[in-house]
A and B are shown apart, each in its own frame.
Chain A
Amino acid sequence: MAKVVFATGNDVSTDVIYPGRYMATVLPSETPQYAFADNKQFNAKLNDGLIPSGSIILGGKNFGCGSSREQAVSALKGHGLVIVAKDFARIFLQNGINLGLQTIVCPDIVASEGDELEITSSEVFDKTSGRKFSILPLPSARQEIINAGGLIAYTRKRLREGSAAS
């Protein structure tokens, strides 16, 4: 069980999650400090360690739209955040799968900041409101990457197997 620490609304872009001016910072170990950098209050809470790992960001529709910058994913992952949203933009979702950010597609979710959510493999249970919402499984094509522990591990596996395209 974890708390919704930030309810963002629809169409949150990667410019909001990780502003362009910090894009010269690329290493996943260095990006978390700039998560939601233009939201000074939330960014300060994250950097001051006031948000426990496993906390939930509640997105609306089209979470992570815009740029393909992977820093938007590594920054959130670095803080151990879980993203529950009605749906995600394609590249953000794929980057999330590739890096192992927990992304939960929950099309009908209605919840508020402060709600306690319990996430199972098939549903999100809002303990605060008592309501349950179904989870859409991630694209099946991506399950192998998730199972391998992310795309780096999966690519290593493929290289070892010698199954590179040529």
Chain B
Amino acid sequence: MGMTIVEKILARASGKASLKAGDVVEPRVDLAMSHENAALVINQFMEIYEGISRVPKIWDPSKVAIIFDHRVPAESPKTASNQKKIREFVAAHGIAKFHDIRGDVGGICHQILPENGYVRPGFVVVGTDSHTTSHGALGALSFGIGATEMASVWALGAALNVEVPGTIKVNVRGKFRKFVGPKDLILFLIGKISAEGANFKVLEFHGPVIQKMSTSGRLVICNMSVEAGATAGIVPADEETRRFLHDEAGVKGRINVVESDKDAVYEKTIDLDVSDLESQVACPHTVDNVKTVRQVKGTKVHQVVIGSCTNGRLEDLEVAARILKGKRVAQNTRMLVFPASARIYTQALEKGIIGEFMKAGAVIMNPGCGPCLGVHEGALGDGEIALSTTNRNFKGRMGNPNSEVFLCSPAVAAASAITGVITDPAKGAN
């Protein structure tokens, strides 16, 4: 019987010839990522070793990555102290893949990992962040875990007792209309199958639309796979993956890829045609409350956010800047831009994109998670509405339970920033 990509990756990582959904394995981990919540991982890791009176030792520090992004620079003494504790641990344990708060190599974990070539096709990647699903864009099996599970991975180098997930195949064909893209595709899919439509499953993306999609776009759809409950999203690695890793991530040498067998067994197949797809908006307070932009157009917007691990890449900023060029952000609407990494920030500067944003009245923030999870900047007032290219709109997500968050593509965000109300970029500001 044939295997899916994920079954193959898990079989290799657990030393088995073959596997099927439902089998239980203990895959060796190729990359273990944490952000500021490494402070909790460290606490749990120490507790493991205190209980057996041994010296704490990470199984392979070269496979651990720690990136500061959730609260950068620190918003409170507590966060600063957590970050300090992590720095000391990083130094003591020789963790080289550490990205501190820096204007050259810093950024959001889900951009730092791909752009530095830390993730390769066929890898097993775990991260103490639910959007670790992003890295499936490079043909890796990549999923989120809790801090205690990460402490266990640091100790043992394997994820324990993992049930091999079933896979849902998603075939995407057609051609995107102007201003419609990966974000609209994944929002549409989540709306269609619901916030738990892929619970405990893998979403494996195929079809001509995916083949033509850049790695940047693939990161968007894999990033948000978790919003349908998926354990992981994955795009089979191909020539585009090799191009990205060689040309953008500086990876040298041969890159092997893993593909599903022709007779692989899927739980189900979903066929989508994007030719008629309109811009999509996820309305408060669940990500699967998805409508077309036409259905919600005219909704007043107080804060527009462009950025995050979902849509803070150069491609996203370029789309938004093209729409904003020569225009101004509406009165009584504020626009915040968060490039996903220092590298992207620099590229956007060099291309004049940052200048366009500033001329339009947008505020450029340093790379990081920003207001997405409501921890330290870009808070909303009571009754205010944010339109954001981020990935979650749960009640209170941006820090105030008496506010609302709508999710959209960079094109919808930019067009709406100009008018101050939710606007279809195909009809609106231009």
**Which of A's residues lie within 8 Å of B, judged by CB?**
11, 13, 15-16, 19-21, 23-27, 38, 61-62, 65-71, 73, 87, 89-91, 94-95, 98-99, 139-142, 144-145, 150-156, 158-160, 164-166
Contacts and interface: CB of A to CB of B under 8 A. Distances in A.
Given A38-B401, A90-B200, A152-B148, A62 B161 contact: no
A23 B59 contact: no
A66 B48 contact: no
Contact of B397 (A20, A68, A99, A152): A20
Interface in B220-273: 229, 231
Nearest to B59: A164
B126 to A, nearest CB: 10
B148 A151 contact: yes
Contacts of A13: 392, 394-395, 397
A94 B145 contact: yes
A87 B151 CA distance: 26
B199 A90 contact: yes
Contacts of B395: 13, 15-16, 38
A144 B161 contact: yes
B145 A91 contact: yes
B37 interface: yes
Contacts of B70: 23
Given A66-B130, A155-B48, A155-B156, A166 B148 contact: no
B135 interface: no
A156 B44 CA distance: 12
B199 A27 contact: no
Interface stretch (B1-9, B75-83, B92-100, B342-350): B75-83
B160 interface: yes
What class of interface size applies to chain B in its complex with A? 35 or more
A20 B375 contact: yes
Given A26-B43, A166-B59, A98 B392 contact: no
Contacts, number: 165
A79 to B, nearest CB: 18
Given A66-B392, A141-B163, A159-B156, A94 B146 contact: yes
A73 B239 CA distance: 42
Contact of B373 (A15, A89, A139, A164): A15
Given A15-B395, A94-B149, A68 B128 contact: yes
24 contacts: A15-B374, A20-B397, A20-B399, A26-B82, A38-B396, A65-B195, A66-B392, A67-B130, A67-B373, A68-B132, A73-B146, A89-B199, A94-B146, A95-B148, A141-B24, A144-B161, A152-B44, A152-B151, A153-B51, A154-B152, A155-B160, A159-B48, A165-B59, A165-B158
B155 interface: yes
Given A16-B396, A26-B37, A141-B24, 11 more contacts: A13-B392, A15-B394, A15-B396, A24-B76, A26-B40, A27-B43, A70-B148, A90-B199, A94-B145, A99-B146, A152-B151
B313 interface: no
A140 B394 CA distance: 31
B289 to A, nearest CB: 10
A150 B129 CA distance: 21
B158 A145 contact: no
Contacts of B79: 24
B427 interface: no
B26 interface: yes
B114 interface: no
Given A152-B151, A165-B157, A166-B157, A19 B374 contact: yes
Nearest to B379: A21
Contact of A155 (B40, B151, B200): B151
Given A23-B37, A24-B71, A152 B54 contact: no
A55 B163 CA distance: 30
B162 interface: yes
Given A15-B394, A24-B79, A90-B231, A68 B145 contact: yes
B392 A15 contact: yes
From A67, A145, A165, name the one whose CB has the most chain B CB atoms within 10 angstroms.
A165
Contacts of B48: 152, 155-156, 159
Nearest to B196: A62
